[in-house]
Chain A
Amino acid sequence: MIEVGTAIPSHEFEINRTLLKQYADASGDQNPIHQDEAFAKSVGLPDVIAHGMLTMALAGKYISDWAGGPQNVKEFSARFTKPVIVPAGKSVDLTVSATVLEVTTTGVRLEISATSQGVKVLGMAKAFVVQGV
């Protein structure tokens, strides 16, 4: 039963430098702050950071899975509140969960939470999905 307040089980993605390179190639966003540690630090960042849009793409996968496929996601929005910091040689988590905000005749509105290393990385994250579940 899906109703307002229903919590959707969380999922943990892993993000590492290899994934950042893969996303850079797939998306065309080759900004060096996502690949080059020396460059990232030279512009005042603590380390290499993930593309905000990679974080959002992974959250989108989480929503797609719940909704029964990527074709069921109709609206999706998020604010990039803090960067996902990705040190060399290790993977960090992206932990995504959601709750049902609204149930309409056509679909379900979700509020999404995404954290990495305990820090909230997406704010105001919402999606509207048609019910393919």
Chain B
Amino acid sequence: MLNPDSVGRTFAGVDVITVTQDEINSFAAVIGEKNTAVAPPTFSIKISLREFESILTKPDIGLDWTRLVHGDQKFEIFRPIVAGDSLTTSATIESYKVAAGNEIVTVRSDLFNGAEKVISSWSTLVVRA
């Protein structure tokens, strides 16, 4: 179970993530996107989900990642990610509830290139009962 005291907390990512052209190309290839000058609109989930996993599964937060399904997802893209971006991340646990034994947590991810906010996204994650 998620520690309810963690709701509202924001966690700064420890690493600066440098985006490579190769990883944009690989992601674009899956969906058949030929324009690789910018990353596809959902590319940032790659960064955010990894961040969420490392935060939410910390012992003092306590989410069970093995029973997780993705409930919904939203992106606000201030500008597309491009190769060479050096992104810092922050993740905020925005809400949490338990319904019919399922845990439902909404986490926001903000990605910055220096002082510039590049993308905000919201993921609702469900830990099945």
Contact = CB atoms under 8 A, between A and B. Distances in A.
A80 B45 CA distance: 15
Interface residues of A, number: 32
B106 to A, nearest CB: 12
Contact of B80 (A25, A26, A71): A71
A76 B40 contact: no
Contact of A69 (B29, B35, B77): B35
B73 A53 contact: yes
A73 B77 contact: yes
B60 interface: no
Interface string B51-62: 000000000000
A64 B42 CA distance: 11
A13 B76 CA distance: 25
Interface residues of B, number: 29
B27 A26 contact: yes
Nearest to A129: B41
B26 to A, nearest CB: 4
B44 to A, nearest CB: 11
Given A28-B46, A57-B31, A70-B38, 8 more contacts: A22-B30, A23-B30, A53-B49, A53-B73, A70-B39, A70-B80, A80-B71, A80-B73
Interface of B: 23, 26-27, 29-33, 35, 37-42, 45-46, 49-50, 69-77, 80
A19 B30 contact: yes
Given A70-B41, A76-B77, A124-B72, A61 B49 contact: no
Contacts of A53: 42, 45, 49, 70, 73
Interface in A38-62: 51-54, 56-58, 60-61
Contact of B40 (A22, A51, A61, A75): A61
Nearest to B80: A71
A77 B75 contact: yes
Contacts of B37: 71
